[in-house]
Structure 1
Amino acid sequence: MYDCLVLNGCTDGDKDGNFTFIGGQGKSVIDYCALNNDWHDHITRFEVQSKNFSDHMPIVVEWADNMTSTVKNLQLIPRLKWKKNEINLYRNNLDNNLSLLNDSSDSTELLSNKLISCIRNSANKPTSCRNKSYKQEWFDKECMKARNKSFTLLNAVRNSDCQNLKQWYIEENTRYKNLCLKKKTEYENQQALSLSQTKDCKEFWKITKMINGSNFTIGLGVSAEDLAGHFKNILCGKSSDQFLYAEPLLTDEILDSEITFAEIQAVILKAKNDKAPGEDGIAYEFFKNGTEALIIKLKSLFNDVFNKQEVPTSFKTAVIFPIHKKG
């Protein structure tokens, strides 16, 4: 009548028709996935997964999509993480890398790229031995152990009619859910206590971010080119290649002189920590804790930009995150 096809039990990945419900009342296939016959040839995967989030097992369906999108996802370079305990290692690496840098005849573009590479290569790379992180802050090893035990029993129940095994699974799954609820409640109470004891705005928003997380809406339905054009019109406006000077032309020996080592050092020291980096992923901390050799190279770069009137691409590039606000 409706010209539909039920995928359960007749699709690759679920030829045997796995149970979609496993609970205290028994096991059965009560959750179905049906679609129009015209879509059958586009299905690439159908699977009933073994998850204990609910008595109903989740159904996963994937299909081929031949539609193309004009939205381009630009992959940013991973942000370098500053580590205070490795400052000496960073400074030694930086001096060694800068000593090998030959920039006598480089363009401002090439010199800028070389300095970025030197800083990134001097930062200590993260090791592969990292503590396992979980999606939820309160979810720890104890929760994971209980979850794995529940999953193991769930898979055994799917392939057996043993009532004792089913009862064991129900008890372990209940214990796992109660443990998660306990951990979550304790974590939220601790965060609420920390929030009530904050002394400044920075600490308040840091804890708020930990509680709410950083969720970004991906896929605006707007192409990257349209977004770039929109912000270019707002931020750049109209420009002219010709510079017009009002008579008389004023000059100042101090302002027109070359940028000095002391000026660059003063600006770097005023920069704030914990700020978002640019496209290169290098935060202010890597400049503030750099060596004199780095400031000398920066001095050479900035004066070349001023004298040659060549601005590197990285100086003209910004990372912009459109943030949706209600209302």
Structure 2
Amino acid sequence: MTCGGDSLNVLLIGDFNARVGDEEGDVNNLAGIERNSKDNVRNANGYKLIELCNSFGLKLLNGTSRGDQNGEFTFVGGQGSSVIDYCFIGCEWNNHVVDFEVLNEPFSDHMPIVVSFNHSEVANVTTTNMELLPKIVWHSSNEHSYKANLDEALQNHEVANFNDLEEIIKQNFGSNIKRDIQVPPNFQEPILDSPITIQEVSSIVNGLKDGKAAGSDRIPAEFYKYGSNNLIQTLTGLINSVMENGVIPEQFKEALMFPIYKKGCAMNPANYRVLQNRLKMWISSKNLLSEFQAGFRSGYSTIDHIFVFKSIADLQEVKSCMSSSWILKQRSTRSTEMP
């Protein structure tokens, strides 16, 4: 069962031939949900199943619902009982689940599992599909002529906003955009609030990768990356205008998003890593991170921590052995001195 074309809006139910014990999974852990199970055994298939659950942000219902508080056995056979039948749901379906229970029926060694949904809420889920237009094709052979034409257009036309700039790049001139969202700054910080420089914009633009997807304007990165210096100057001016006026252009509110994540619920912002150059620079200037924080930091490595930890452990082991040897030697000396 799917909803809205989103692979996370699923109900996955059946016999998985896997035993996960009382493992909760990342989604349950993040939500602070304690899971119970009468089957405490975990096998290889169980580990793989939990890894799959974490990778796709699926929540395990067994042992977490009102109707299955104890985590009842789902398989009862002549050689024993176990939990191998499960129900997983995408995180967006969590609010629609009313209950989950394992029925005690004699007609099969696999007990039926029943999931109840609030049908009215599920029926009201709607989707909006945005037309994905093909991006403008970039030809590297046209780089020089593109720069020349771009310079001429920038000199002959006033660029008041990002929409104007996009139209110039696409060689279509015109329409203004509406700006109606005011974003006043919450605090003043020189590193964060000083005007954006041409060097900053140039560095970011030059770091853009070729051949990537375009946004709703259909302009891929190459048209900015291989543009002229005038383009970078114009782009810098527009960005600074946004900062000074505190007004967000309409284009900044639109995005074609195909989220890729490692594990957990895709609706949870904690599962996404956001690192911006200025934010990192500000954190560094304020010394907000300890020197012992090595994870996800450029120029740092957890290998150093592992080395220090191992060295301490080895030293502790040596000291322990030396102490044991000294005690044994003292006992041996005392025993030889006894009459």
Q: Which structure has more RCO (C-alpha within 8 Å, separation ≥ 6)?
A: 1
TM-score > 0.5 by shorter chain:
no
Q: Would you tell me which structure has more helix in proportion to its own residues?
A: 1
TM-score (norm 2): 0.34
Q: Please give the TM-score of this superposition, normalised by the length of structure 1.
A: 0.35
